Amino acid sequence: MEDKLPKVVSNRKKRLGRGYGSGKGGHTVGRGQKGQKSRGKVGILFEGYKMKKSFIKRLPLRRGKGKFKSKNELMIINLKHLEILPSGTLVNIENLVKWGLVNEKDAKLFGVKILGDGEISKKLKIALPISKSALKKVEKAGGEIVNK
């Protein structure tokens, strides 16, 4: 059984810059002579000199604390704002836009979530993401959650 297996020989990877015993010799250790790549790492944002404007320079400038955070956050509607809707209304983005509670473009871009600030006395059918506290208040008022 043992004599039928083929003999496999694979050499270990040569590690650059680790002395003569590494198998890559000494002196320039496989990096060639002189130049940026022989001395250290080239930065990941480096695109060459006098070519095009660099990627970082092409990005829009945002100032202040949250300049690296994404801009898209959910729009928030509190239960007290839903009190203007008639009883039995389906609460979705289209109806919120129709009643003037949210801007249509922003609502479709970022999404809407209902939070539990305030009280509600009307039975509403809600087809939007909702917080746990708002869910309890809606169910207490006789409303229900409808899957989208």
- Provide the pLDDT for residue 148: 55
Identify the pLDDT of residue 59. 79
Which is nearest to 115 in space by CA: 139, 96, 140, 132? 132
Structural domains for the chain:
13-64 (no CATH), 75-145 (3.100.10.10)
pTM over 0.75: no
Q: How far is Cα 37 from Cα 40, in angstroms, rounded to an integer?
A: 6
d(CA 26, CA 79): 73
The 10s digit of each residue's pLDDT in 51-82 is 677 777 777 887 888 777 776 788 999 999 99
Residue ranges of the chain with per-residue pLDDT less than 50? none
Render pLDDT for 83-93 as a digit per residue (tens, 0 to 9): 999 999 999 99
- The answer to whether 128 and 144 have CB atoms below 8 angstroms apart is no
